[in-house]
Amino acid sequence: MELSLLAHLCCINCAYKLKFWPFPFQLKSKHSFFPKKNNKNNNKEENFSNWLNKYYLSPDQEVNRKIYRNGLFICPNCSRWYPVINYIPEILPDHLRDWGRDLAFLEKQKWQLDSGLKKFLIQVAHKAKFNAKSIIDSGLKFKKAEMNIKDKVDDPLFFGPGYLAPFNPQNPEFTRQLIRRFGQVIYLLELQNPVTILDVGAGYAWTSEWLAKAGHNVIALDICRTYLEIGAKRMMNLPLPLQPELLVADVEAVPFQGNIFDAILCFDAFHHVPDRKKALRHLWRTLKPGGQIVLAEPGPQHEKEPSSIKVMEKFGILEKGMSLEDVQSYAEDLENAEIKQVYIVKVDNDEIKPVLFPASLKAHKFTDCNYYVIRKHQR
């Protein structure tokens, strides 16, 4: 049986490990309905998870991959629930959730067995929705723009047709660039054995797909469901071990327990993230000691390029490249971190000089991309 990295998901609100309940909820016995009234010694909220455990069938502790199409991840501590829709969990913070869609999803399930439980879950949602009002997120407008990109994915200005990713028949040079860069990040990720990898801002998830096909256990995380769904369609006929698992989440609130991933990749994605310090703190927590984060991102002039300006104006998303100094400042709070920019150059025998200097490195860059490696040393 394939075990899933999704078994390590935790609540964004309180960091407790989440438990998965598939739809339809199934009672263990005929008489075990959700209690209708709160009595004083039985705080419904406190005992909610005990209740579920006692009376409802749940899958094994470990979530098995792709067995359950729809369901809820539920927090045993704060009772927040997060939907799994069409095999893709969405573990988003309260203020980024589409509550209308989530409540409609709940409504659509078969509740004839236990309307008390449904009512309770709706109450929890309303509380969380109210809580969302007090959350301050200065990058909210960029995140909303990323999440609502739905009708724009076919625009050739954007990043190519996801059904074929990384192949873009309209732009073969871009395709070649992507594949070259992928080869380089494979080298930087130092993937010798099958390892667990978090692919952040995975989009159509082609990098995740290729890493999974190379034998690794991969989570493709993205804030935008639309991209992941297109990737899921592209990969749906692959055997399960060759598919990454998909997860809708914000990299500024990574819903995983600590020390889960051997390596983390951000491929053309970190330069869209508004609060990079916060994002790196989350990634650092989930990275195992000895592992590394690889950022493959455009340089600090990126936002001044005409194509970036066009994309920002048209779609409202953030485009902001980075230099080594920027990455060092994003990573300044991380313990035991070693930060390097790695230059991958193409030099032939006529060009070899005794000394390498920055201008010659830049002139001989193999791709138009900067690579940063942030290694987490064992203490």
Interface residues with Zn ion (CB under 5 A) are 11, 13-14, 75, 77-78, 80
Shorter beta-carbon distance to ligand SAM: residue 143 or 234? 143
Site map 158..187 versus ligand SAM, x via CB under 6 A:
-x----------------------------
- What does 226 bind: ligand SAM, Zn ion, none (CB cut-off 5 to 8 Å by kind)? none
Shorter beta-carbon distance to Zn ion: residue 120 or 159? 120
Shorter beta-carbon distance to ligand SAM: residue 11 or 124? 11
Contact between 190 and ligand SAM per CB under 6 A: no
Shorter beta-carbon distance to ligand SAM: residue 124 or 283? 283
Size of the site for ligand SAM (CB under 6 A): 21
Shorter beta-carbon distance to Zn ion: residue 84 or 269? 84
Instruction: Measure the CA–CA gap between 150 and 130, rounded to whole angstroms.
Output: 26
| Binding-site member from 91, 96, 124, 273 for ligand SAM (CB under 6 A) | 273
Contact between 204 and ligand SAM per CB under 6 A: yes
Contact between 210 and ligand SAM per CB under 6 A: no
Shorter beta-carbon distance to ligand SAM: residue 157 or 363? 157
Binding region for ligand SAM (CB under 6 A) out of 55-63, 118-126, 265-273, 335-343 = 265-273
Q: Judge contact between 293 and 228, C-beta under 8 A.
A: no
Residues 84-143, interacting with ligand SAM (CB under 6 A)? 143
Binding region for ligand SAM (CB under 6 A) out of 48-56, 267-275, 284-292, 343-351 = 267-275
- What does 14 bind: ligand SAM, Zn ion, none (CB cut-off 5 to 8 Å by kind)? Zn ion
Shorter beta-carbon distance to ligand SAM: residue 23 or 204? 204
Contact between 250 and ligand SAM per CB under 6 A: yes
Q: Judge contact between 35 and 28, C-beta under 8 A.
A: no
- What does 11 bind: ligand SAM, Zn ion, none (CB cut-off 5 to 8 Å by kind)? Zn ion
Q: Judge contact between 273 and 318, C-beta under 8 A.
A: yes
Q: Judge contact between 80 and 74, C-beta under 8 A.
A: yes
Min CB(207)–ligand SAM separation in Å: 6
- What does 77 bind: Zn ion, ligand SAM, none (CB cut-off 5 to 8 Å by kind)? Zn ion
Q: CA angle, 265 as apex, 259 and 267 as ends, to 5°?
A: 160
Contact between 223 and ligand SAM per CB under 6 A: yes
- What does 75 bind: Zn ion, ligand SAM, none (CB cut-off 5 to 8 Å by kind)? Zn ion
| Binding-site member from 89, 93, 201, 298 for ligand SAM (CB under 6 A) | 201
Three-state secondary structure along the chain?
Answer: CCECHHHHEECCCCCCECEEEECCCEECCCCCCCCCCCECCECCCCCHHHHHHHHEECCCCCCECCCCCCEEEECCCCCCEEEEECCEEECCCHHHCCHHHHHHHHHHCCCCCCHHHHHHHHHHHHHHHHHHCCCCCCCHHHHHHHHCCHHHCCCCCCCCCCCCCCCCCCCHHHHHHHHHHHHHHHHHHCCCCCCEEEEECCCCCHHHHHHHHCCCEEEEEECCHHHHHHHHHHHCCCCHHHCCEEEECCHHHCCECCCCEEEEEEECCHHHCCCHHHHHHHHHHHEEEEEEEEEEECCCCHHHCHHHHHHHHHHCCCCCCCCHHHHHHHCCCCCCEEEEEECCECCCHHHCCCCCCHHHHHHCECCCCEEEEEEECCC
Binding site for ligand SAM (CB under 6 A): 143, 146, 159, 201-204, 206-207, 222-224, 227, 250-252, 267-269, 272-273
